């Protein structure tokens, strides 16, 4: 049972340990000031564990101290936070506040092209959320968090797509579900909230093929994610035994511009890489990026257009599906897995790299690491009418597609890594 007193004791005890570990590992104490923009750099797993213990207890303490009414209102109004942060990102406000100095709202408004009154109100709202500080009336400087926004392009790219398109789709989910529920004879209902936001297109991949600005933001978002520790392709490299791959063929299905294979290149110095995607632009980006790689890697790598709903034409040894199945419903996932079978040789390995849903019952999620998979599940529902899955869900779908798929094991997904690697083999 969590009581106020017990939670405070946990926080005191863990904070004392955290301070000690920070000292031992030469990591600076966290601070709200600008120089605290990248705390915990170089932390090890123990330090991370203690930090998250504090976050969990502090979040429960906050909930108890606030009471249900404040929590309900905060939940209901959280879209104002997303919207405000979207304004800050879209108008590059953080990038235009000087490091180590300050700027008046009038000068900043001229730089970012917003009316001063709107900018001032947006900035003051943002200050309330820990972004920026108002050092004197109308004068603004960086806080630790706004400095992190200004300094970290990948975080900005992730946050921009999240606060613009993704937020719009999430907010239209209740309306979408209501329309689906009230479906009348012959009436067109949206397949996903995506279709209410982008009514011209059937799905996001068709939309991206026709909307270059959106496609650019989506790819920057994807690339930005890969550059963070959470989503790094290095997590996949660490989570499976690549040492014995030798000169086998690795097929990255829906591999986009090939960043997963590029991350595996060092661990598999003799492997052949075949990157398949339906998107010609992504494949071309990959070909261009590959041109500066070593001649050996260039020779072993190919980019091939392939629709994964069509029968697989390449007989590889290892197939990677990274961040693919969560975009699709159970029926579509089974179709993709059935379409793979014509390419499969006896003993072929299929690796699914995805975040994994925890087994029920659900619990309060107090730390972002725990909540992230649930947030992604809501994204998938709103964007694709897709879903995140548990290991058990994957096993069920593979077996439904073909009884010859055998579940082997699940690895990774620890120490802050979002994805796990779920391994199957095809036993013909
Ligand atoms: C979420 S991205 C994942 C990309 C990459 N695997 C990664 O982990 O970053 C989904 C990818 O699936 C591709 N895709 C969508 N529909 C496809 C289809 N029918 N056949 C092949 N690829 C497809 C998209 O173009 C996109 O590159």
- Using DSSP, state whether 132 is helix, strand or coil: coil
Report d(CA 293, CA 84) in Å as an integer: 41
Write the DSSP assignment of 12-56 as a string of letters. HHHHHHHHHHHHHTTPPPP-SBGGGSSTTTT--HHHHHHHHHHHH
Handedness of CA 382, 385, 386, 389 (dihedral sign): positive
| pLDDT score recorded for residue 187 | 79
CB distance 256 to ligand 1 below 6 Å: yes
Strand (E) or helix (H) holding 304: strand 301-305
Tokens 């500066």 belong to 292
Report d(CA 316, CA 309) in Å as an integer: 17
| pLDDT range class, residue 25, cuts 50, 70, 90 | confident
| pLDDT range class, residue 197, cuts 50, 70, 90 | very high
Q: Where are the domains of the chain?
A: 4-66, 78-151, 153-224, 230-426
- CATH level 3 topology of 230-426: Rossmann fold (3.40.50)
Name residues whose C-beta falls within 8 Å of residue 243's C-beta, 6 or more positions apart in sequence.
267
Report d(CA 143, CA 33) in Å as an integer: 5
Strand (E) or helix (H) holding 133: strand 133-136
| pLDDT range class, residue 421, cuts 50, 70, 90 | very high
Average pLDDT value for residue range 50-70: 96
Residue with more model confidence, 171 or 279: 171
Which one of 278, 321, 325 would you pick to mutate in the ligand 1 pocket, going by the greatest count of ligand atoms within 8 A of its CB? 278
What atom in ligand 1 is closest to the CA of residue 257? 27
335 pLDDT above the threshold of 70: yes
CB distance 235 to ligand 1 below 6 Å: no
Q: Whose CA is nearest to atom 17 of ligand 1?
A: 278
Question: In the beta sheet, which residues pair with residue 406?
Answer: 425
363: number of Cβ within 10 Å: 8
Q: How do residues 344-400 score in pLDDT, each as one tens digit?
A: 999 999 999 999 999 899 999 999 989 999 999 999 999 999 999 999 999 999 999
DSSP-H helix ranges across 211-329: 212-226, 233-238, 259-264, 280-290, 295-300
* Neighbour-count burial of 310, counting CB atoms closer than 10 A to its CB (0-12 exposed, 13-18 middle, 19+ buried): exposed
The two beta strands, 133-136 and 139-141, are antiparallel
Report d(CA 236, CA 57) in Å as an integer: 30
Per-chain mean pLDDT for the chain: 94
CB distance 56 to ligand 1 below 6 Å: no
Residue 276 in contact with residue 304, Cβ under 8 Å? yes
DSSP 163: I
Average pLDDT value for residue range 78-94: 98
DSSP 166: I
* Neighbour-count burial of 188, counting CB atoms closer than 10 A to its CB (0-12 exposed, 13-18 middle, 19+ buried): exposed
| pLDDT score recorded for residue 304 | 97
1 pLDDT above the threshold of 80: no
CB distance 309 to ligand 1 below 6 Å: yes
What atom in ligand 1 is closest to the CA of residue 255? 6
| pLDDT score recorded for residue 322 | 96
Q: How do residues 127-155 score in pLDDT, each as one tens digit?
A: 999 999 999 999 999 999 999 999 999 99
DSSP 202: S
Strand ranges across the sheet with 405-412 = 301-305, 272-277, 249-253, 318-322, 349-354, 420-426, 405-412
Report d(CA 226, CA 224) in Å as an integer: 5
Handedness of CA 416, 61, 34, 123 (dihedral sign): positive
Handedness of CA 53, 57, 58, 60 (dihedral sign): positive
Q: Complex ipTM, two decimals?
A: 0.99
Q: Whose CA is nearest to atom 3 of ligand 1?
A: 323
Average pLDDT value for residue range 268-289: 93
* CATH number belonging to the domain at 78-151, selected among 1.10.1040.10, 3.30.420.280, 3.40.50.2300, 1.10.10.10: 1.10.10.10
CB distance 281 to ligand 1 below 6 Å: no
Buried b (16+ CB within 10 A) or exposed e, 41-57: eebeeebbebbbbbbbb
360's tokens: 């029920």
| Å from CA of 282 to ligand 1 middle | 9
Report cis status (omega within 30 of 0) of the bond before 115. no
């Amino acid at each position: 049972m969590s009581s106020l007193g017990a939670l405070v004791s946990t926080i005191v005890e863990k904070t004392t340990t955290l301070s000690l570990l920070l000292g031992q590992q030469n990591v600076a104490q966290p601070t709200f000031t600008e120089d605290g923009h990248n705390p915990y750099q170089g932390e090890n797993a123990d330090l991370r564990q203690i930090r998250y213990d504090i976050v969990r207890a502090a979040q429960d303490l906050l909930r108890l101290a606030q009471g249900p009414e404040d929590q309900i209102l905060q939940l209901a109004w959280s879209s104002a936070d997303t919207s405000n942060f979207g304004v800050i990102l879209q108008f590059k406000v953080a990038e235009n506040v000087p490091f180590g100095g300050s700027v008046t709202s009038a000068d900043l408004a001229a730089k970012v092209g917003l009316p001063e009154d709107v900018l001032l109100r947006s900035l003051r709202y943002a200050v309330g959320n820990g972004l920026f500080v108002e050092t004197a009336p109308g004068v603004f400087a960086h806080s630790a968090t706004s400095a992190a926004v200004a300094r970290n392009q990948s975080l900005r790219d992730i946050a921009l797509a999240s606060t613009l398109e993704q937020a719009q789709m999430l907010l239209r989910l209740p309306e979408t579900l209501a329309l689906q529920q009230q479906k009348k004879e012959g009436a067109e209902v949206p397949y996903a909230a995506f279709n209410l936001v982008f009514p011209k297109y059937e799905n996001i991949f068709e939309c991206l093929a026709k909307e270059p600005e959106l496609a650019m933001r989506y790819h920057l978002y994807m690339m930005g994610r890969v550059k963070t520790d959470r989503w790094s392709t290095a997590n996949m490299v660490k989570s499976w035994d690549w040492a014995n791959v030798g000169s086998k063929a690795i097929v990255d299905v829906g591999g986009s511009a090939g960043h997963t294979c590029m991350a595996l290149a060092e661990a598999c110095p003799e492997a052949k890489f075949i990157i398949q995607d339906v998107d010609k632009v992504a494949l071309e980006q990959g070909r261009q990026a590959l041109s500066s790689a070593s001649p050996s890697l260039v020779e072993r790598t190919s980019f091939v257009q392939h629709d994964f709903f069509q029968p697989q034409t390449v007989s590889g040894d290892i197939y990677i599906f990274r961040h693919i199945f969560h975009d699709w419903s159970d029926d579509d996932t089974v179709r993709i897995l059935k379409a793979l079978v014509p390419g499969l040789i006896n003993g072929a390995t299929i690796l699914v790299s995805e975040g994994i849903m925890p087994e029920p019952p659900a619990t309060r999620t107090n730390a972002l690491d725990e909540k992230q998979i649930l947030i992604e599940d809501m994204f998938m529902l709103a964007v694709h009418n897709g879903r995140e899955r548990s290991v058990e869900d994957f096993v069920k779908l593979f077996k439904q597609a073909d009884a010859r798929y055998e579940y082997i094991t699940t690895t990774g997904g620890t120490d802050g890594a979002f994805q796990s690697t779920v391994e199957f083999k095809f036993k013909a």
